[in-house]
Structure 1
């Protein structure tokens, strides 16, 4: 999904972070924009290690003490079902437990590739030795989950246990492949209603901070392709509205 910006030498590609069993496909417009670009900017650098320590309690708290006992039992059951180790579950924060379950739940609804358009373009940019810049770090992205209220972390965990988040990912993926921007905007609005603090940080808040970086890159005049999630490209706070 390709978007024009008001900055003529900066183009934006709306991507998805996951894919199904089919070959990853990139639109012709994106291919052309990539070929013109001397620099490609991504949300984060896929080559960088991720520090997961932030997702575990360090002060003696336990997941079983933070969430209802019935929910903790469901988490343990799901970890066992997917063959995940259960000995460290109690040390995980709610959002991290949800992230552990995410790829397994996604596979159950047909999303088998944990990397989508953005990783595909990233790998190509590395192979072509293009200049690669990033808005943030992979480890830094975890702060958007960490900073959410405990109630929303619990909601996120419940949704992952119930397949709601996986079903939402399927809807985003389907809307992306159909280039249905209206459906994507509805999905973004719905997510904001369900987890307002977390989603505000993850989408509109990041868009605002990214725009400052985009304008800085405009000043150097280097032809640039920006590759970010499709939900960053819809609605009144869309990142390409500069």
Structure 2
């Protein structure tokens, strides 16, 4: 039995005991209340994980997203839909306005090109080059096709190829769906700019960029299998296992992990702390890896004395 199923069985058993204890009383309202509470607990363990931070006049939902998904992964229902419908603002990592997203590709391409006279393969030693070209061969990508790109930009292109080959599509990504379904009049808030997100990779030392690239290309099929497992854990709401998997995947380069996760998680915890000073309800949708594992957003909130409650 999986951890999730064990939890559900335990809750169901406790609910039955509670109902049996109440059965000697003619108070149908009490029975209904227990049943409703048990159902809520069961529902909270079903679907991708979501948390809530709240004080007397402010509620902020924290929902972990996946930026690209297969078409057959269902997640937008129940507590997630209810939380979004009740929110006055949708908070995402960057501005999801279609014009901004369209311009993002041009910005990345402009920053991701090597200086004239340099080539990507020319940055590699013999061992790195052999690993790189072997990985590209598995995917059917000619090495010269990426020669003008900086290593981080080549890694993103390779990842995109892997996603598409595995049936993942950005049109099915969580943020895209949220943008298309959020009620009219909902305010939009961006935690970061496109330029900042690009700088996370673009300002890395070349050796770290190369490590990031080789990690993406070394075993493409293993990368797809890992992605499938991550999506499965995300869809089940198993944040603990998801966090462990992401930490293992990122353990090879602590600088990238710090820049990509830890520093941003700490920044977002500050944003949440300050947002609690403004009454209302906000729905914050950020990559699931930021809400799982060590040094998650929740960990940084705890350091600030802010409690977080899981609601799905």
Which TM-score applies when normalising by structure 2? Answer: 0.68
Pick the aligned partner of 1:4 from 48, 52, 75: 52
Q: Secondary structure at the match of 1:45?
A: coil
Quickly say closer, same or farther: Cα 1:221–1:179, change in 2 above 3 A. Answer: same
Please state how far the C-alpha of 1:225 moved relative to its aligned partner: 0.8
2:292 pairs with one of 228, 231, 234: 234
1:99 to 156, 174, 188: 156
Larger radius of gyration: 2
Tell whether 2:90 aligns with 1:43.
no
Higher helix proportion: 2
Q: Distance in 1 between matches of 2:207 and 2:171?
A: 27
Indicate the SS of the match to 1:219: coil
- Aligned equivalent of 1:70, options 130, 145, 151: 130
Distance 1:189 1:27 in 2: 29
Equivalent in the alignment of 2:202:
146
Post-superposition offset of 1:59: 6.1
Partner of 2:11: none
TM superposition score normalised by structure 1: 0.86
1:118 matched to 2:186? no
Total equivalences in the alignment: 238
CA distance in 1, matches of 2:87, 2:75: 19
Counterpart of 2:246 (choices 188, 197, 203) is 188
Query: Partner of 1:194: helix, strand, or coil?
Result: coil
Deviations 1:113-172 (A, max 9, x none): 4642122112323x6231000111233212222233433322322232222443332222
Q: Is the 8 A contact 1:111 1:170 kept in 2?
A: no
What are structure 2's unaligned runs of at least 5 residues? 1-48, 302-312
Shift of 1:24: 4.5
The Cα offsets for residues 51-95 of structure 1, whole Å up to 9 and x where unpaired, read as 11221123643212212343554476478x35x8955x2220111
Checking the alignment, whether the CA contact within 8 Å between 1:42 and 1:228 is kept in structure 2 is yes
The separation in 1 between residues aligned to 2:77 and 2:253, in whole angstroms, is: 32
Q: Which secondary structure does the structure 1 equivalent of 2:79 belong to?
A: helix
- Correspondent of 1:55 among 102, 107, 112: 112
Equivalence for 1:160? 216
Q: Which whole-Å deviations, capped at 9, do the CAs of 1:20-46 have from their partners, x for residues lacking one? A: 131542241111111110011001123
Distance 1:59 1:213 in 2: 41
Q: Distance in 2 between matches of 1:97 and 1:151?
A: 14
Distance 1:192 1:86, change over 3 A: closer
Distance 1:147 1:108 in 2: 29
